[in-house]
């Protein structure tokens, strides 16, 4: 998108406009108050995330000996629906060093919004989390494994109020491993859609902490989101925080946190865009 802006500026300059205004895309507007903003401005360097910053927590959740600049890539892909011309994609990767807190069974790296906290506004009222995903053909996931990609975890870390997953759900033989799945707190699949290996896929989940419901929204490519489910009753109590990235479970163990099999020389990535949480108290959901 950077080149688009430069081109637009060049065109304005050559046409002799005195004060060129940057072209803005009218679509993709975020219509509701933003609560947490994880959209990455065009031109951001990976090292930006190594120290305290306005977007994501610099300390969590990652391998003990890794810097975010070793984990995050800024892939040269078109920007996603809600990123428009001002923001760009970011990719979370896994390597053999992606071991957090001696959890030797998992390989994980997860972004937390900088201003999210275990008792913060992300877990009260009515909030909608938005995220878009794109696949990196050079860093494919191994769908024999179960991946948590986006979720909200309770403040006491005892449960996740919802999970957005890929791959083979351990203990759920009926699920299609090549689909994105949204699960509730008791691991029931609420909705799923095939993983698209070419274009962006855009998701949103509205969490109504007053009515205890979850509603899923979805679109592919640049299309507007539409409701994919109704507001489904769910136990979303327990406060906590959002996490966006990859948590890859091992195979062949009943103790997924600490043991099991992970192949070596991992080089997997998940591209994200359009990360933000908006206030849906008045029913507002950006589509
Ligand atoms: C990014 O991708 C575009 C379109 O494929 C290409 O024209 C451009 O040269 C690429 N930029 C970089 C820095 O690789
Ligand atoms: C995918 O995971 C399975 C189970 O751990 C493993 O047997 C297989 O070798 C992996 N495939 C690749 C391409 O790494
Ligand atoms: C998850 O969904 C199932 C199936 O609809 C439902 O029976 C269960 O109560 C839900 N669990 C929670 C914790 O909301």
Q: Is the pLDDT of residue 21 over 70?
A: no
Whose Cα sits closest to atom 9 in ligand 3?
A: 234
CATH class for domain 2-283?
mainly beta
Ligand 3 neighbourhood includes 185 CB (under 6 angstroms) = yes
> pTM value?
0.90
Q: 204, 285 in Cβ contact below 8 A? A: yes
* Cβ atoms of residues 201 and 125 within 8 Å: no
Instruction: Name the residue among 196, 184, 207 with its Cα closest to residue 277.
Output: 207
Determine the atom of ligand 2 nearest the C-alpha atom of 251.
Answer: 5
C-beta separation of 268 from 259 below 8 A: no
pLDDT band (50, 70, 90) for residue 113: very high
Give the pLDDT mean for 270-285.
Answer: 97
Task: Choose the residue to mutate in 154, 169, 185, 215 for probing ligand 3, maximizing ligand atoms within 8 Å of C-beta.
Answer: 185
- In this predicted structure, what is the pLDDT of residue 173? 74
Beta-bridge partners for 164: 150, 182
Residues 6+ apart with CB under 8 A from 180: 133, 149, 164, 165, 166, 192, 193, 194, 195, 201, 203
Express each pLDDT in 54-98 by its tens digit.
Answer: 999 999 999 999 999 999 999 999 999 999 999 999 999 999 999
- Residue whose CA is closest, atom 3 of ligand 2? 144
């Amino acid at each position: 998108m950077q080149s688009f802006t430069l081109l637009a500026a060049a065109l304005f300059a050559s046409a002799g406009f005195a004060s060129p205004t940057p072209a803005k895309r009218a679509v993709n507007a975020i219509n509701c108050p933003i609560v947490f903003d994880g959209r990455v401005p065009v031109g951001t360097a990976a090292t930006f995330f190594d120290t305290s910053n306005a977007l994501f927590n610099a300390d969590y959740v990652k391998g003990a000996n890794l810097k975010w600049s070793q984990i995050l890539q800024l892939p040269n892909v078109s920007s996603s629906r809600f990123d428009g011309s001002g923001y760009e994609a970011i990719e979370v990767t896994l390597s053999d060093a992606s071991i957090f807190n001696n959890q030797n069974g998992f390989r994980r790296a997860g972004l937390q919004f900088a201003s999210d906290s275990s008792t913060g506004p992300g877990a009260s009222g009515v909030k909608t989390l938005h995220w878009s995903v794109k696949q990196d053909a050079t860093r494919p996931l191994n769908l024999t494994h179960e991946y948590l990609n986006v979720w909200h975890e309770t403040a006491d870390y005892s449960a996740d109020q919802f999970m957005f997953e890929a791959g083979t759900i351990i203990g759920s033989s009926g699920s299609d491993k090549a689909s994105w799945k949204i699960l509730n707190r008791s691991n029931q699949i609420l909705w799923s859609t095939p993983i698209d290996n070419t274009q962006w896929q855009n998701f949103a989940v509205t969490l109504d902490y007053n009515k205890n419901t979850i509603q899923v929204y979805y679109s592919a490519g640049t299309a507007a989101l539409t409701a994919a489910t109704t507001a489904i009753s769910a136990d979303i109590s327990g406060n906590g925080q959002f996490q966006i990235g990859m948590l890859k479970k091992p195979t062949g163990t009943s103790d997924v946190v600490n043991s099991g099999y992970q192949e070596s020389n991992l080089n997997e990535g998940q591209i994200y865009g359009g990360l933000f949480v908006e206030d849906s108290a008045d029913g507002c959901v950006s589509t």
